[in-house]
């Protein structure tokens, strides 16, 4: 008799535990929220908190913060250092290997990672290695093809550091003489004005100098004719750089459109799969004029972009909640369509919706504030209606336990 009571009670507890687990599994969110943090950017606390709050209100997974990979660190500074050491030791072959690689990178990046003085050193010692100017090469020696070719780098060095006076005790006499000749030529060249325009949030640097805010445009006066290096940086975008063959009284340059730094869809999908979710919901602050947050819904299986929204970074007005609600409902709609199609015999596979092209996001949308969840303390009947399946299951288990208990007592 006691065994029957214990067996009935154990059966009831096991059933209740299974139902509770089934209820939790049924409420497992389909969407895994991700906040993408840009490299070298201050933490956008307001946007992150607004996104986390909206994700919590819709019972999504806890927000995962993922750092967007930073661009590769320039190798030129290390190559210049090694190349100069080799040149000073008169190992000209090794010096050219390092300095040629640094010069090629600098020409493409606009001098990223190097100051004006370091750029001058790069070209000075590259000229020395090209001319193979050791301590036995006299300054008055007739020009050789190597020495003639090296003069181009002497001119580049003099463009960067025209006031530099070389110490004859540190460098061979031929290097001192050829650099001085190049510096005199640069001083005698005509001069002009360079104007750089671009995004208001961009910053530019000329010949390794300090960064200058573009805003309405950067104007550099009294610039000597010759080759100059310019680079542009902007939060949220890849850097840009180039070499300018400056040789006119006035030259205007427009900074081109650059690729945005972003958490790519494939990586976001991989994070969602690892968390067992069907979709990834990525929130990422956008660089450029103004402040905005981009939300993207990514299919975790295919890695395809399903939908996106661009909203103001300000948490006011419910835009964040509205966007999260719309994308969460889109994920559920897609899942329901796929499940329905899979259960229909001979049904054709569901064609995924068109993917929004990068950079062509829909305009900001301001939807109504989503209704708050009903709490038991506020409206018990409404709360019971929302949870009636679980309550009915618990009632059935409790009734089973009572009936079994009464039956056992009657048998006794």
Question: For the ranges 53-62, 74-83, 180-189, 313-322, which has the lowest average pLDDT?
Answer: 313-322
Q: What is the DSSP string of 360-408?
A: -PPPP--PPPPPPPPPTTT-HHHHHHHTHHHHHHHHHHHHHHHHHHHHH
Q: Say if residue 368's pLDDT is above 60.
A: no
Report pLDDT for 389: 53
Q: Say if residue 313's pLDDT is above 90.
A: no
Q: Quote the CA–CA distance of 211 and 312 in Å, as a whole number.
A: 28
Identify the band that residue 317 occupies on the pLDDT scale cut at 50, 70 and 90.
low
Question: For the ranges 104-108, 189-193, 228-232, 336-340, which has the lowest average pLDDT?
Answer: 336-340
Distances in whole angstroms, Cα of residue 333 to Cα of each of 78, 156, 279, 327, 328:
54, 62, 12, 10, 9
pLDDT digits (tens, 9 = 90+) for 249-296: 999 999 998 888 889 999 999 999 999 999 999 999 876 555 688 999
Q: What is the DSSP string of 218-241?
A: EEEEEEESEEEEEEEE-TTB--EE
Strand partners, 250: 193
Q: At what angle do helices 388-411 and 2-26 cross, to 10 degrees?
A: 170
Q: Quote the CA–CA distance of 326 and 3 in Å, as a whole number.
A: 54
SS3 77: helix
Domains and CATH numbers, the chain: 2-69+261-342+353-389 (3.40.50.10150), 76-188 (no CATH), 191-254 (no CATH)
The CB-side HSE value for 85 (13 A sphere, CA atoms) comes to 7
Across 249-280, b (16+ Cβ under 10 Å) vs e yields eebebebeebebbbbebebbbebbeebebbbb
Identify the band that residue 136 occupies on the pLDDT scale cut at 50, 70 and 90.
very high
Instruction: Phi first, then psi: give them for residue 46, nearest 5 degrees.
Output: -65, -45
Instruction: Phi first, then psi: give them for residue 240, nearest 5 degrees.
Output: -140, 145
The two structure tokens encoding residue 11: 């059966």
Question: For the ranges 13-22, 209-218, 272-281, 351-360, which has the lowest average pLDDT?
Answer: 351-360
Q: Say if residue 411's pLDDT is above 60.
A: no
Q: What is the mean pLDDT of residues 298-310?
A: 93
- Residue 57: exposed, middle, or buried by beta-carbon count in 10 A (0-12, 13-18, 19+)? middle
Q: What is the mean pLDDT of residues 65-79?
A: 91
Taking phi first (over 0 means left), then psi (-120 to 50 degrees means alpha), and beta for anything else, what does residue 378 get?
alpha
The helix (run of H) or strand (run of E) holding residue 34 is strand 31-37
Q: Quote the CA–CA distance of 313 and 100 in Å, as a whole number.
A: 45
pLDDT digits (tens, 9 = 90+) for 172-183: 999 999 999 999
Q: Quote the CA–CA distance of 275 and 146 in Å, as a whole number.
A: 62
Q: Say if residue 220's pLDDT is above 60.
A: yes
* Segment of 167-171, 286-290, 407-411 carrying the highest mean pLDDT: 167-171
> In the predicted model, what is the mean pLDDT of the chain?
81
Q: Which residue has the higher pLDDT, 171 or 394?
A: 171
The helix (run of H) or strand (run of E) holding residue 127 is helix 116-131
Question: 116 near 103, Cβ under 8 Å?
Answer: no
């Amino acid at each position: 008799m006691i065994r029957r009571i214990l067996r009935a009670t154990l059966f009831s507890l096991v059933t209740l535990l299974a139902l509770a687990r089934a209820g939790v599994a049924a409420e497992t969110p389909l969407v895994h929220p991700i906040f993408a943090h840009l490299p070298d950017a201050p933490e956008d606390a307001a946007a992150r908190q607004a996104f986390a709050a909206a994700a919590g209100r819709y019972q999504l997974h806890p927000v995962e913060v993922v750092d967007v990979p930073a661009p590769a660190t320039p190798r030129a500074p290390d190559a210049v250092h090694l190349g100069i050491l080799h040149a000073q030791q008169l190992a000209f072959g090794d010096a050219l290997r390092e300095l040629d690689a640094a010069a090629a990178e600098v020409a493409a990046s606009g001098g990223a990672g190097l100051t004006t003085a370091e750029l001058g050193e790069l070209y000075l010692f590259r000229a020395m290695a090209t001319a193979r100017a050791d301590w036995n090469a006299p300054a008055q020696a007739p020009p050789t093809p190597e020495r003639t070719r090296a003069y181009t780098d002497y001119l580049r060095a003099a463009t960067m550091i025209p006031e530099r006076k070389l110490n004859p005790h540190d460098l061979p006499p031929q290097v001192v003489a050829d650099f001085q000749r190049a510096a005199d030529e640069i001083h005698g060249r005509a001069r002009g004005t360079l104007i750089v325009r671009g995004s208001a949030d961009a910053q530019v640097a000329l010949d390794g100098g300090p960064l200058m805010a573009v805003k309405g445009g950067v104007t550099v006066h009294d610039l000597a004719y010759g080759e100059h290096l310019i680079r542009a940086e902007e939060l949220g975008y890849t850097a840009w750089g180039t070499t300018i063959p400056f040789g006119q009284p006035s030259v205007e340059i427009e900074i081109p459109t650059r690729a945005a730094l972003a958490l790519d869809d494939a990586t976001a999908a991989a994070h969602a799969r690892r968390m067992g979710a069907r979709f990834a919901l990525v929130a990422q602050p956008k660089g450029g004029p103004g402040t905005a947050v981009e939300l993207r819904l990514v299919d975790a299986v295919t890695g395809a972009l399903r939908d996106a929204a661009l909203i103001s970074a300000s948490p006011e007005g419910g835009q964040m909640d509205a966007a999260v609600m719309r994308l969460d409902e889109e994920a559920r709609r897609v899942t329901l369509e796929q499940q329905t199609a899979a259960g229909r015999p001979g049904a054709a596979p569901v064609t995924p919706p068109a993917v929004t092209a990068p950079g062509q996001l829909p305009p900001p949308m301001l939807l109504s504030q989503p209704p708050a969840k009903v709490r038991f303390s506020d409206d018990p009947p409404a709360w019971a209606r929302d949870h009636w399946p679980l309550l009915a299951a618990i009632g059935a288990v409790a009734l089973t336990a009572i009936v079994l208990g009464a039956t056992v007592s009657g048998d006794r």
